[in-house]
Amino acid sequence: MRSNYKQLGQYIESFDFRNKNSSEQLGLDAIKGISSIYKSFIKTKANLVGVSPGNYKVVKPNQFGFNPNTARMGDKIPIALNSSKNDVLVSSIYPTFRIIDENELLPEYLMMWFRRSEFDRYARFKSHGSAREVFDFEEMRGVELPVPSIEKQRAIVKEYNTIVNRIKLNEQLNQKLEETAQELYKHWFVDFEFPDENGQPYKSSGGEFFFDDDLEKDIPIGWRSVFLKDVTSKIGSGSTPRGGKDSYKTSGISLIRSMNVYDFNFKMTDLAFISDNQAHKLSNVKVLSGDVLFNITGASIARCCIVPRSILPARVNQHVAILRMNEKLSNYLLCTMCYEGNKRELIGVAESGSTREAITKEDLQFFRILMPSKTSGELFESKVEKLLNHKEILLSEHQCLNEVLELLLSKMSKVESRKIEQIL
């Protein structure tokens, strides 16, 4: 053991307190699962019909719970600290524990250690069992970590929380910008209250309509319904380079996968990279600035976003389609594809497939959308572009903050507290 490291076992103790023994028993809504990705308590995915919560374990604030079965948990171990003010319930098979003396070890400091990739590798290495791989409480007791003075721990936790709070603020701002864009789209292109030539709401001011047979509804004069193929210069998906994940690089040309594409948001997590030679073989799916990315298979089907300029040059794999507008109306197309009515229709198309849940190139080509007048389209585009450009700036800052967060976690092994005011 390194000289400044201590075994966790001297700081924690196991407990098994059941809901049925509590003076105020909790209901089904208190039952939580544990996310391996976010390392937090989440809404359970278990079927709770007919379930009695009596035998579930109670995890009080500042206490921990984890899933000991690591066989199918990927690279990260599901473990969480109850950082809320309320008790939660977890499965009776989950080990639960607490810190014996919080004046010696802070729960938040320990949770930071659990978020390190080094801890996950250690837990996977120490997992054992023939029928299933298990990392139980005894293995948890054997975890080694540096335990500096409580003042030092508080300083490290404070720095960590400063970054986390900034990330949360960015996420809230992003959400507000997205909601504003969606509300504007609905107001203009669903309720038809876009500004007329006098700047007044079109429908409320007596704007003229005609019945469109294809859309089966009234639309404003000068507007039209079109197939997606009629207003795009590119609809197509790519492929995975030969060798799959093993062929990916640590840097190079970005390879966009479905896990990166969310509605209105591009997730940088696990962004893959390929070499120039691999990218050359995918030159037919070269991603350009302003391209709309659309997931066409799997559980993430119909998720949609605009490619951020910061990841270019890029290609897409077989699960992601590129939608490229003829006119500079990428933001309009994004909002159209994300609109709830259109999304329901597209998911319905996918579910009607004979083999698997997927949207084909032909499905996209002949998907019918509403095209506004040139004036209305360009005005909407300019307004939403400002909103989404701000989102992209926040995305870049978000990525930087996450890198700083990882740096701070990695510094814990040296028991160092870095002044992040110089970074932020």
Regarding whether 261 and 137 lie in a shared domain, the answer is: no
CATH number where 30 lies: 3.90.220.20
Closest among 97, 95, 34, 25 to 54, alpha carbons compared:
25
On whether the pTM is more than 0.95, the answer is no
Q: Would 390 be classed as within a structural domain?
A: no
Residues in the chain: 424
Regarding whether 341 and 250 lie in a shared domain, the answer is: yes
Q: Would 173 be classed as within a structural domain?
A: no
The Cβ-side half-sphere exposure at 127, using a 13 Å CA radius, reads 23
Domain boundary among 100, 121, 147: 147
Domain boundary among 356, 371, 386: 371
Regarding whether 142 and 270 lie in a shared domain, the answer is: no
Element (H, E) at 138: helix 137-141
Strands (E), 108-175: 144-146
Regarding whether 128 and 246 lie in a shared domain, the answer is: no
Regarding whether 142 and 23 lie in a shared domain, the answer is: yes
The burial class, CB within 10 Å (0-12 / 13-18 / 19+), for 7 is: middle
Per-residue model confidence (pLDDT) at position 417:
40
**pLDDT < 50 positions in the chain:** 416-424
User: Do 89 and 57 touch, CB atoms closer than 8 A?
Assistant: yes
Regarding whether 16 and 139 lie in a shared domain, the answer is: yes
Report how far residue 134's alpha carbon sits from residue 89's, in angstroms, rounded to the nearest whole number: 21
Per-residue model confidence (pLDDT) at position 367:
96
Domain boundary among 371, 388, 408: 371
Q: Would 61 be classed as within a structural domain?
A: yes
In the 8-state DSSP scheme, what is residue 154?
A: H
CA dihedral 56, 58, 64, 67 (to 10 degrees): 0
Per-residue model confidence (pLDDT) at position 5:
87
Domain count along the chain: 2
Report how far residue 371's alpha carbon sits from residue 224's, in angstroms, rounded to the nearest whole number: 5
Q: Would 215 be classed as within a structural domain?
A: no
Q: Would 208 be classed as within a structural domain?
A: no
Instruction: Record the tokens describing residue 322, joined without a space.
Output: 């590129």
Regarding whether 230 and 102 lie in a shared domain, the answer is: no
The range of the structural domain enclosing residue 33 comes to: 5-147
Q: Taking all residues of the chain, what is their mean pLDDT, rounded to a whole number?
A: 90
Q: Would 30 be classed as within a structural domain?
A: yes
Regarding whether 333 and 243 lie in a shared domain, the answer is: yes
Per-residue model confidence (pLDDT) at position 326:
92
Per-residue model confidence (pLDDT) at position 418:
44
